[in-house]
Amino acid sequence: MSIKINKRIVTIERHILDEQAAFPDASGTLTALLYDMALAAKLISSHTTRAGLADVIGATGTVNVQGEEVQLLDEYAHRTIFQLNDHTGRLCVMGSEEEKDIISIPDKYDCGKYVLLFDPLDGSGNIDYNVSVGTIFSILRRKSESGPGTLEDVLQKGAEIVAAGYIVYGSSTMMVYSTGNGVHGFTLDPGIGEFLLSHPNLRLPQPKFYSANQGYQSRWSEGIQRYTRWLRGEEGNTRSLSLRYIGSMIADIHRNLLGGGVFYYPADTKSPNGKLRMLFEAQPMSFIIEQAGGYASTGRQPILDIQPTALHQRTPLFVGNRELVEKAEEFIARYDGV
């Protein structure tokens, strides 16, 4: 009997190694870092799928049946990523949305040439509703020469990102990453515990969706209100897009990456810089979407060109198909002045 195999099975490990092969001088450090992020994703995924059981096996701050303290999921995700990366000699510093200051590598371990920034569990406010949440990360080269990494190593433009990715814990767990050579998506096969290549070379298709929290519309500028109407087929637009808003940025942007569309979280009268964090949310997601042929902007300038000045700074964000994001810039320039 001859077995016909018409689809190559590619694990994330194989894929990361193949990407490295394009750079003969690569030391393998980035490859190992990415692989550890895939491992973190599997560990976090096994917890997110049990999130609803917290009330059954013990609530946060209490002790579970094994006598261990039950952690908040975002704390667990933060600690998992930190512990997988603090001792490897690959990083000089880390930054997490869950931590006020930069995170130094413990003195007893070597410092390396990379910087890791992460949002351990984005959208964690959604966990109680069984809505998808996710992890976001970016990797940069250090700026300082040697020794412990500094704030300057962390505060870099998105254009300097070497690799970025996200993991969405949804009806299946997917990891999507880019090293600046396109965007590739992997689905976790829980039976074998491996991420398998399911979405090679992702490119944004023709747009179908727009995603924003329209509950805040009365707080938006005229330009953003008119832009939203334009997306709905008014303001001279001859077609309309469908509204989809989950309220979990990774899930919203992931859907738009696969289906085409724009996600925006603009400034409003209550939050002059919007809600999302430049380093932990906007930069990595913008890098990925631009690698998939899209564009990301504050509404006035490209996200990836902005020099951040503070670890937790916020930014308005418009990200998705280029023509839709440029249209937002047009409306803002026309109606909101300088």
CB of 324 to Mg ion, least distance (A): 23
| Part of the chain binding ligand AHM (CB under 6 A), chosen from 98-106, 158-166, 246-254, 318-326 | 246-254
Does position 125 interact with ligand AHM (CB under 6 A)? The reply is yes
Contact pattern for ligand AHM over residues 180 through 219, marking x by CB under 6 A: ---------------------------------x------
Q: Return d(Cα 320, Cα 257) in angstroms, integer.
A: 7
| Part of the chain binding ligand AHM (CB under 6 A), chosen from 38-46, 120-128, 180-188, 288-296 | 120-128
Classify each residue of 305-319 as buried b or exposed e, where b means 16 or more C-beta atoms within 10 Å of its C-beta. Answer: ebebeebeebbbbbb
Measured from the CB atom, the residue of 246 and 324 that comes closer to ligand AHM is 246
Among 248, 256, 297, 321, binds ligand AHM (CB under 6 A): 248
Decide which of Mg ion, ligand AHM, none touches 275; Cβ closer than 5 to 8 Å per partner kind: ligand AHM
Q: Which residues bind Mg ion (CB under 5 A)?
A: 119, 122
Pick from 232, 204, 230: nearest CA to 293: 204
| Part of the chain binding ligand AHM (CB under 6 A), chosen from 198-206, 245-253, 287-295, 318-326 | 245-253
Residue type, 14: R
Q: What backbone torsions phi and psi does residue 15 show, to the nearest 5 degrees?
A: -65, -45
Q: Alpha carbon of 106 to those of 35, 79, 91, 110, 138: distances in Å?
A: 22, 14, 11, 8, 21
Strand partners, 189: 194
CB of 43 to ligand AHM, least distance (A): 19
CB of 213 to ligand AHM, least distance (A): 4
Q: Return d(Cα 135, Cα 74) in angstroms, integer.
A: 10
Q: Return d(Cα 229, Cα 257) in angstroms, integer.
A: 22
Considering only residues 270 through 299, tell me which ones interact with ligand AHM, judged by CB under 6 A. 275
Among 247, 259, 293, 302, binds ligand AHM (CB under 6 A): 247
**Crossing angle of the two packed helices 322-335 and 222-231, in degrees rounded to 10:** 140
Decide which of ligand AHM, Mg ion, none touches 125; Cβ closer than 5 to 8 Å per partner kind: ligand AHM
Measured from the CB atom, the residue of 96 and 221 that comes closer to Mg ion is 96
Is-contact 61 70, C-beta < 8 A?
A: yes
Is-contact 257 176, C-beta < 8 A?
A: yes
Interface with ligand AHM by CB under 6 A: which residues?
Answer: 97, 122-125, 213, 247-249, 265, 275
